[in-house]
Amino acid sequence: MTLLKSKLKEIFSKAKQQQREVVFLCIGSDRYIGDSLGPLIGSMMLENGISRPVHGTLEEPVHAFNLKLALKDIHKKNENPILISIDASLGTKEQVGDVLFKEGPLVPGKALKKMLPEVGDYHFQGIVNYLDPFPSSQFLNDTRLHTVMKLAKLITQIIIDSDKEE
């Protein structure tokens, strides 16, 4: 996690030098436990006083139906932002509970075969469940709240710690 915090601090520092705003886009819906990771993190970041713009909370989630509108809003309010997107993801059984952080865009809804725009200059993925032979919609319903909360707290803490130390 120390490596991840230093990477985020580096991104924050680079953004400051380039006079660009770092914006967080937390994707998901509070209607499915497995898809609530993004909105949970968005709400937790705001509760912890993050100094950067956050889009996507439990109160106002950003999901498949309003993602394009949210992106328009972000780019209208922030000239050339550095966008860090956050979403729940499916992986292997061994990956459940892992946090991935990558440079480049996130493809939301990919596991459920949804056609949504790629988002983010960087992205976090929290592996909330694994692919199983059940119908795809079951993955989100069968995800444990404990796993989602644990990932949400971990990712939020990494971001908040990096933001405070910047």
DSSP symbols for 6-42: HHHHHHHHHHHHTT--EEEEEB--TTSGGG-HHHHHH
The reply to whether 98 falls in a domain is yes
Phi, psi at 146, each rounded to 5°: -55, -45
The neighbouring-strand residues paired with 24 are 54, 84
- Model pLDDT for residues 43-57, shown as the tens digit of each residue: 999 999 999 999 999
The reply to whether 13 falls in a domain is no
Q: Provide the residue range defining the domain that includes 74.
A: 2-6+21-165
The reply to whether 144 falls in a domain is yes
Q: What is the token pair recorded at 87? A: 């979403």
Give the count of domains, the chain: 1
* Extended strands (E) in the chain: 22-26, 54-55, 82-91, 99-103, 122-130
The reply to whether 16 falls in a domain is no
pTM for this prediction: 0.92
Report the CATH number that the domain containing residue 128 is assigned in CATH: 3.40.50.1470
Q: What is the token pair recorded at 54? A: 């956050």
The reply to whether 15 falls in a domain is no
Q: What is the DSSP letter of 89?
A: E
C-beta of residue 139 within 8 angstroms of C-beta of residue 132? yes
- Model pLDDT for residues 94-106, shown as the tens digit of each residue: 999 999 999 999 9
